[in-house]
Structure 1
Amino acid sequence: MKKSTFMTSVAFAFVMLFTTGLYAQEFSNLDKSPMDAASFPSDYKDANKSIKVIYSRPQLNNRSLDKLAPNDKVWRTGANEAVEITFYKDTDFGGKMIKKGTYSLFTIPGEKEWTIIINKDLNTWGAYFYKEENDVARVMAPVKMSDESVEAFSISFDDNATMHMGWDKVRVSVPTSSK
């Protein structure tokens, strides 16, 4: 009886050994524009977030910023899917009140200022399906130039809850405050 149990176990092991290869998962390579997140407060020890932004970080790779994010055209504000911004509380975003919830974030880059757009459409790829009629708010943010270049598009929050976006030598900031 013990011998048949052992043989059954060995047979089961061989079956599992040869069938798991048939169902192996195919994993893709690393994305060239990896996904990242920025939040306020940005301290990971503080779980009580007010805002979180999930976005992909394209690289300049010796390309010009105006080719990657052209002036006066709606841009996805990163790469791949449209940026997702979650407000965990009703929030003043650059002078416009935004109700708590999750939205997409688009921008229209400009030479002197950027238009930052909060839109209610979710799960969209890039700006290809952007619909202006679904905008919740538009905020104007002045462009400031830096002496330092940032290779990968970046979003961060400072201690005053101001959202900063930077790429190449361009810097754009939007003040926020939760109610």
Structure 2
Amino acid sequence: MKKISLLFGLLCFALFGANAQTFRGLDKSPMDIAYYPDDYAHDRKFAPAKIGNDKAMVRITYTRPAKNGREVFGKLVPYGKVWRAGANEAPEIKFYQDVTIGGKKIPAGNYALLTIPNENEWTIILSSDLDQWGAYSYNQSLDVARVNVPVQKSDNVLENFSIQFAKKDAKTATMYMGWDTTVVALPISL
């Protein structure tokens, strides 16, 4: 019965979306990678004509924890504390080109993605401290950038934490992070 309820919930979420942003279905592995442009690595290998001379903007590698009936934000993930934006190791975000996030120029390179969730706003943190388990050894002096983004609430429950990119225009993408009924959006531009 739980499996049927979960499948029904995921189906409803897929059909009705989260504030106009829908997250695709899950792979069996709890580890995931999201690219912008979407499926860049696959297309580069198997459909190079599809991407032409375009270069990837960003890739993120992260682990997707599950809600499993728990209250997520404010309980499992406390408000006001640094969180690794997923499970296990802190996610690693790679910018293939220099980008701008929240008015801040970010050089191409690899960064740890951390957040400070609050009820109405999240602080997104890019840190130069890679390969850290969780956020237990977080050191604010290694922050490269901090950006505040508003929280959006969804009527649909997202069972697993998910990250996905969407095209805004030729030089701008939006990184969506969602879990439970919470969604945040981070614009990234060239």
Coarse TM-score class (shorter-chain normalised): 0.7 to 0.9
Asked if 1:112 is matched to 2:112, the reply is: no
**2:58 is equivalent to residue 51 of structure 1:** yes
Which piece of structure 1 moves more, 149-158 or 60-69? 60-69
In 2, Cα distance between equivalents of 1:112 and 1:95: 21
Task: Judge conservation of contact 1:33–1:58 (CA < 8 Å) in 2.
Answer: no
Partner residue, 1:91:
99
Larger radius of gyration: 1
Match of 1:40 in 2: 36
Residue segments in structure 2 that go unaligned for 5+ positions in a row: 1-27, 44-50
Partner of residue 72, structure 2: 65
The answer for unaligned runs of 5 or more in structure 1 is 1-31
Q: Report the RMSD for the aligned CA atoms in angstroms.
A: 1.5
1:130 aligns with 2:142: no
**Equivalent residue, structure 1, for 2:185:** 173
Q: How much does 1:39 deviate? A: 1.1
1:43 CA drift (Å)? 3.5
Higher deviation after alignment, 82-91 or 47-56: 47-56
Deviation per residue, 1:109-132 (Å, 9 max, x gap): 001100000000011100011100
The percentage of counterpart residues that share the same residue type is 53
| Amino acid of the structure 2 residue aligned with 1:89 | Q
Aligned length: 147
